[in-house]
């Protein structure tokens, strides 16, 4: 079947159990809203167009508190508006999935052109320290896979999960075989086993993630974006606040392999490794294949999870490779993370493109040549 990236996202969302969608139209993400409006009502779900992106994520969080798996989708300008609620979801631990189909910015930028400029926004767009997950698929099949994964992670860790892909991945159609939805391993948030009176909403009881009751289910509790204690009540007690912060930051680190996903191509004997994600990784894959056929020992490391960043894997590569070359469609965003992880063990160079055009295999070959890889011409 030939399926578009954005359509695959909508299919995956309903297959993962999403039953609420709220959004606001914006290029190049609108196909997701349109498909959700078709797919959800026959399955007993609700799709609603809100008055803006702030309202969209607000409604998603309300629906999630009512026990529904919920999602919104947007592009850079709308993602900017959503940031306060991303932080609210992180603080109150309300599961949600936010798709950002990246277009060229800043500001209105190039609305129909691809870019990868929202990586840091996904990490630090909202104020304050907070945990976040961001996944970056590079194909239509992977959009499906990681959208399902995003719901699972959101439910398991009670966190906002951002899905980042560029306009090319959103609009490209590729041949995919979708799995039988019944075969998917789906995760539901843990619900309290205690009776309403005995339950403390933010007590993790030795786990990293507390159980969460649906509003209206009989467990009455308080949710606030203020710093809160285990009862969910506002507090300014430094010890309690420090405990909350520590738990929020630790919860994604507990089961790192569940969260930090990546793919390697020809890494075993690679002397120079390209680091790229999304459509840039597709260009890099082509370039690496071409270079290998010409005898060059090069490889590709492709983060499928951007946040938390796969820094241990990069550190390991930095200990083995002669150079790392980062290729991305922005003015240099993950390159800083790669440099931080490489910690001076090997030189890191970047190849950036922010002109609204997809990064091309030639760009990567050129960067490899710049890193001293010979015989590519």
Partner 1 sequence: MTPAAELDYRQYLRTDMMPHILCPGCGHGIVLKAILRAVHRLGLPRDRLVFVSGIGCSSRIVGYVDFCTLHTTHGRPLTFATGLKLARPELHVVVVTGDGDGLAIGGNHLIHAARRNIGLTCLLLNNATYGMTGGQGAPTTPEGARTATAPDGEVEPAFDACRLVAGAGGTFVARGMTAAPVGLDDLIARALVHPGFAFVEILSDCPEYFGRYNALGHGPEMLEAQRRNVLSVDALLAEKRFVPGLATARGGVQPAVALGVLHEARRPEFSAALAAARAAAPPAERPAAPPATPVVAPAGVPAAPAPAEAPQCRVRLAGAGGQGIVLAGLLLAEAAVAAGRNATHAQAYGPESRGGASRAEVIVSDGEIDYPCVDRADLLLALSQEAYDRYAGEVRPGALVLVDADRVVPRPAEGVACHALPLGATATRVLGEALGANLVALGALVALSDVVTREALERAVAARRPGDSAERALLAVRAGFELVAAGRR
Number of residues that bind partner 1 (CB under 8 A): 94
Asked if 66 touches partner 1 (CB under 8 A), the answer is yes
Asked if 23 touches partner 1 (CB under 8 A), the answer is no
Question: Which positions from 315 to 344 touch partner 1 by CB under 8 A, shown as an x/- string?
Answer: ------------------------------
* 169 vs 342, beta carbon nearer partner 1: 169
Question: Which positions from 73 to 112 touch partner 1 by CB under 8 A, shown as an x/- string?
Answer: -----------xx--x----------------------xx
Question: Burial code of 161-196, b = ≥16 C-beta within 10 A, e = fewer?
Answer: bbbbbbbbbbbbebebeeeeeeebeebebeebeeee
Ranges within 130-189 binding partner 1 (CB under 8 A): 139, 141-142, 144-145, 168, 171-183
Ranges within 216-245 binding partner 1 (CB under 8 A): 216-218, 220-226, 231, 233-234
257 within 8 A of 137, measured Cβ to Cβ: no
* 44 vs 206, beta carbon nearer partner 1: 44
Asked if 292 touches partner 1 (CB under 8 A), the answer is yes
**Among 239, 268, 344, 375, contact with partner 1 (rule: CB under 8 A):** 268
Q: What length is written for the chain?
A: 377
**Among 81, 267, 315, 376, contact with partner 1 (rule: CB under 8 A):** 267
98 within 8 A of 71, measured Cβ to Cβ: yes
The encoded tokens of residue 128 equal: 């304050």
State how far the Cα of 130 lies from the Cα of 150, in Å rounded to an integer. Answer: 18
* 12 vs 206, beta carbon nearer partner 1: 12
**Among 9, 20, 93, 350, contact with partner 1 (rule: CB under 8 A):** 20
Asked if 260 touches partner 1 (CB under 8 A), the answer is yes
Alpha-carbon radius of gyration of the chain:
21
- Name the nearest CA neighbour of 140 among 165, 123, 110: 165
Residue 131 Cβ, how far from partner 1 at the closest point, in Å?
19
- 3-class secondary-structure state, position 301: strand
* 122 vs 365, beta carbon nearer partner 1: 365
State how far the Cα of 56 lies from the Cα of 100, in Å rounded to an integer. Answer: 13
**Among 9, 70, 212, 276, contact with partner 1 (rule: CB under 8 A):** 70
Question: Burial code of 309-344, b = ≥16 C-beta within 10 A, e = fewer?
Answer: bbbebbeebbeebebbbbbbbbeebbbebbbebbee
* 77 vs 181, beta carbon nearer partner 1: 181
State how far the Cα of 136 lies from the Cα of 157, in Å rounded to an integer. Answer: 18
**Among 198, 206, 238, 293, contact with partner 1 (rule: CB under 8 A):** 293
Q: Is the dihedral of CA 139, 56, 306, 333 positive or negative?
A: positive
Q: Which residue has the tokens 């930051």?
A: 249
* 77 vs 111, beta carbon nearer partner 1: 111
């Amino acid at each position: 079947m030939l399926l578009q990236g954005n359509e695959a996202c909508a299919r995956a969302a309903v297959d993962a159990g999403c039953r609420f969608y709220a959004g606001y139209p914006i290029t190049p993400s609108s196909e997701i809203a349109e498909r959700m409006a078709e797919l959800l009502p026959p399955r007993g779900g609700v799709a609603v167009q809100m008055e803006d992106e702030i309202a969209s994520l607000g409604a998603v969080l309300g629906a999630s508190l009512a026990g529904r798996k919920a999602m919104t989708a947007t592009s850079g300008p709308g993602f900017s508006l959503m940031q306060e609620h991303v932080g609210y979801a992180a603080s109150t631990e309300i599961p949600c999935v936010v798709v950002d189909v990246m277009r060229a910015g800043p500001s209105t930028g190039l609305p129909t052109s691809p870019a990868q400029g929202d990586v840091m926004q996904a990490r630090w767009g909202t104020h304050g320290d907070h945990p976040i997950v961001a996944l970056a698929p590079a194909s239509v099949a992977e959009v499906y896979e990681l959208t399902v994964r995003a719901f699972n992670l959101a439910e398991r860790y009670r966190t906002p999960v951002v899905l980042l892909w560029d306009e090319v991945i959103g609009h490209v159609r590729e041949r995919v075989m979708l799995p039988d939805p019944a075969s998917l391993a789906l995760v539901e948030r843990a619900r309290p086993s205690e009776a309403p009176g005995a339950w403390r909403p933010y007590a993790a009881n030795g786990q990293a993630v507390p159980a969460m009751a649906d509003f209206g289910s009989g467990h009455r509790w308080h949710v606030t974006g203020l710093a809160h204690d285990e009862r969910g009540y506002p507090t300014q007690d430094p010890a309690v606040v420090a405990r909350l912060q520590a738990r929020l930051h630790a919860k994604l680190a507990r089961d790192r392999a569940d969260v930090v996903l990546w793919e390697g191509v020809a890494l075993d004997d690679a002397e120079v490794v390209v680091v790229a994600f999304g459509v840039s990784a597709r260009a890099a894959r082509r370039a690496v294949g071409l270079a290998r056929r010409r005898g060059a020992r090069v490889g590709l490391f492709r983060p499928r999870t951007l946040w938390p960043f796969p820094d241990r894997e990069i550190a390991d590569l930095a200990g083995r490779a002669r150079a790392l070359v980062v290729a991305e469609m922005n003015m240099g965003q993950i390159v800083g993370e790669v440099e931080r992880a490489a910690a001076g063990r090997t030189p890191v160079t970047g190849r950036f493109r922010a002109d609204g055009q997809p990064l091309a295999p030639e760009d990567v070959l050129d960067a490899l040549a710049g890193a001293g890889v010979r015989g590519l011409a």
